[in-house]
Amino acid sequence: MGKSVHEKKDERKLKIGILGGTFDPIHFGHLSLARHAKDQFHLDKVLFIPALIPPHKLSRRDITPAPYRYHMVELAIQNQPEFEISDLELNRPDISYTVDTLRDLEKTYPQSEFYLIVGADTLAEVPHWHESEEIMNKVKFLAAKREIEGETKIHSAYIHWINMPLFKISSSQIRRFISNGQSAAEWLPEAVGRYIQEMKLYQNHS
């Protein structure tokens, strides 16, 4: 099953994909992105890293508490041993900056290669991230954009394009569906949908 990562040092050299986000909630789009990235680029594993305080969502006051979001990721990746979840950012009390996460991962996985998995729309934001130059020197970006293949260089970052179908749903749309009493079952792993119902998440969600 999908595993939780605790911060003990791993001495093996690995190709590690990193998929961060709020995961509020995690859905099939996230899982498809991780799966295609892992298979296409032969990653040893993909780490799902829920953010405590995402820097680009500081104005959002309705983010679901971290324990619920963390458990939804656990449920979504169960029985998939190549996917793991890390509580690295949840254990830091401040803003979840990617550069801090990478510094911590380098200590846990020395000599390993890191691949940051993102949606294509995120690439334009990268130069504005906190200490972006260091990030771009530490990772290669795997970006979902099926129209372009191969490798290119944007700013200081190396970009590889993930060949995958577009997934036209977002977590915010799913929250809205549930808030309006509509079913979001087609976009959610069954265990995640069941947990949302049990915990009454996203009801009367703005």
Q: Which residue has the higher pLDDT, 124 or 87?
A: 87
The CA–CA distances, whole Å, from 28 to 23, 35, 167, 184, 190 equal 11, 10, 8, 11, 10
Q: Is the domain defined by 3-166 classed in CATH 3.40.50.620?
A: yes
Tens-place pLDDT, residues 55-75: 766 556 789 999 999 999 999
pTM above 0.85, yes or no: yes
Give the pLDDT band (50/70/90) at residue 146: very low
The most confident of 8-12, 32-36, 91-95, 140-144, by mean pLDDT: 32-36
Tens-place pLDDT, residues 151-190: 455 655 678 989 998 888 899 999 999 999 999 999 999 9
Largest separation between any pair of C-alpha atoms in the chain: 49
Q: Where are the domains of the chain?
A: 3-166
Q: Is the pLDDT of residue 45 over 70?
A: yes
Gyration radius of the chain's alpha carbons: 17
CB neighbour list of residue 145: distance below 8 Å, 6 or more residues apart: 120, 161, 162
